[in-house]
Structure 1
Amino acid sequence: MKHLFIPAIALLAVSTPALAEQPSVGQTPDTVSAAHARDDGVNMKRLRDDVKARKPRSSRAKGEIPSILPPLPPMTAKAAVPQDWPAYKPVSVLLVRDAYSVPTFISEKNDISDNGASLSYTRNGIANTQTIAGKGAVFYAVSQWIPPAGNDPNVVGLGHYSLVSGVEWDLKTKNNLHQTTGPVSALFGSEFLIASPVIPLSFLKSNIVYTTDASDGRAQIYGAEFAWQPVAPQFRIGTTTRLSRDLDLWLGFYPTLNADYFHVGNSGDFTNLVTGRDYLWIGPKVQADLSFHSGILERYSFFLKYFYLYDALNGGGQNVNYGQVGAKAKLIEWTDPNGDPLGNLSLLLRYTNGTAVRTLQQNNELYAGVTLKFGNVPDPSKRAE
């Protein structure tokens, strides 16, 4: 039986196992064994083990690598995947986060882009000044899983798509709130989960972006961002895997290969950019996180982001080199009627250093404060119940 399961495992996220290999609804190892009891030469122990191996299991409960796609409904040998099954209907969600997510918004990890938007207030009584700083993003995501059409590993297939639009900001106001600085970006993005004979699973992402400065809106920076995110669970790439069963500690590791093209119509407040210049930044963006899924440490998590993008059109003269590391502790959490996380208020400590994407602004900032996260991608398996 081994050779029958290899193609199905390779296309787990976009295709179903061969229907002829699945036992009919209601069959058990005992009934299948009885049906073959009169056949000469049948290895009954192996037959029983093979049937047991086909039974669906919950991988996350056993600490294994979780599936990316929602589980399929029960099917007989003649049944096709129902097009109106709840897990394949479009869903939409409003997301409040700290920034546009490096990983895809729709994946097996429901709390993707874990950090919330932040807001801080400082008053200097001697100088009689006030400062408010805010960093965050609001996005609206529409997503749909595509029913699998077959299990041929030589066919390129689309398993999922999402459309994500929103606004991202990183602002500071000074001098009695009369001066506001920092970038504001409007984005429209798309994501596609692709299966192919060369690379079993990967995500393709693209964004159209317009960025300006909050002070007077003179800056005009517009372009497009493209990213490829591989999914290789056996190497812990592009997914979440358990590191410790005793601590219920999980690692999420999401590297992407990026090509960001921008034209600067007017540099405005972003003095590191050159008006009239085109930029093509190529390189990796990496996001990783450590989180506890149960126990006394469940409210704590750690994260890291690192971007290195080479300035290909200008000989590396203005590269992006950006890093961020931090820790978070949930203070309050809200859930929806199904018990799924809806939002939380968290205590966040983060350190940011380096040149930012799109604006090349220099960062060297330590932030400690409260963040608000709202909205989660619905769990496809729960929608299927």
Structure 2
Amino acid sequence: MKMNKNGGYHYNIALNYFQNDNLTKAIETLNEGLNTESNNIEILNLLGLCYFKKCNFRSARNKWKRSMQIKKEDNKAKYYLERLNNKKFINMRKYYNLGVTKIDNQEYKEAIALFLEIIKRNKDLVEPYILVGLCNYKLKDYSQAIYYWEEAKSKDKGSLKIKSYINDAQISMMEVKEENNKKNNIKSIIIILLITISVGGIYQLKFNLFKKTQNKNTVTESTENKIPEKESEFKKDDMIVKNNDTNEKIKQKKVKEVDIKLEDEQSIFNNALELYKKGQHNDAVILFNKLINYGTVEYLIPEAIFFAANSYIKIDNVEKGVEYFKKYINEYEEGNYYEESLYKTGLILYRAGKQEEAKELLKKLINKSPNSIYVNSKVKMIIKE
């Protein structure tokens, strides 16, 4: 199928990203291309491949199915869909899903074994490397976590999520190293003190007793003269303690930030949804974005995108809301909120004076689900204008 200028422009840029292992930017560019040419099978097929490599298998299948609806013969999508239905892929999905379950149950070593088996058979997939890294992170094996995240980054150079994980692990490694250095220094000091006491302790005790007797009358005066100096020393010690406390608080804050990113994702979603229902949309969108940017549980991400989009609209950040609705529309055609996202985005764009873009989305809604509750008189009126 021949592509128009806009479609070809986006496709060629995305293909370059894809060939240079930047899946994130390739996906972003291909979705921009779909906004200008929604029936371009080359864009759909490449987008499906990108999603497949990132283990977003549902989105990959949707793009290839859509491609096949447009052109049934001489279409690579047919081969890709057959791959999704073969025995090897089905077995791999079983390993993958079991591995995710093991992570949810905090059985990290068992999860690592499963994902390493997937990596052995499917080296091009990105997500297994990320998940092995996460498991090693939870086991506090930070060097191994970084190793696997670096492998993942080499396959998707544009992923901010992977870069963030690597940064967190590097911070944790530095903290462990500092803690070990402190312990080693304390051990060295104790050993030196023990040696000093054993060799010179008795002599020093006798000498001190002699000196105490000899200077009995001058001790009080000497002590009084040194009070200001001692107070100064105490102040210095107090400053050192305070500085150490501050450094410790900073470290604890960093550790807390890492733990937040890696805590149970279902709990994050539940908390975000509770805030959403209470109308606390500024707080809700922060949690939804944690799942969108750092989440690994596949079924939660589209839910987070949809509710984040609604939250942005509620706080009058319409541009961001539309961006998230479009992300949902482009990536989750079979999602629970696909029709609603088309409907809401179409109406928002129409009210913003973007009639043609609104019509395109609302036509997509009618073509997808002509009997949908969202295909109402308002939608039909906009399309007829």
Same fold (TM over 0.5): no
TM-score, normalization by structure 1: 0.21
Choose between structure 1 and 2: higher strand proportion.
1
TM-score, normalization by structure 2: 0.21
Who wins on radius of gyration, i.e. which is larger? 2
Choose between structure 1 and 2: higher helix proportion.
2
Q: Which has the higher contact order (CA 8 A, sep 6+)?
A: 1
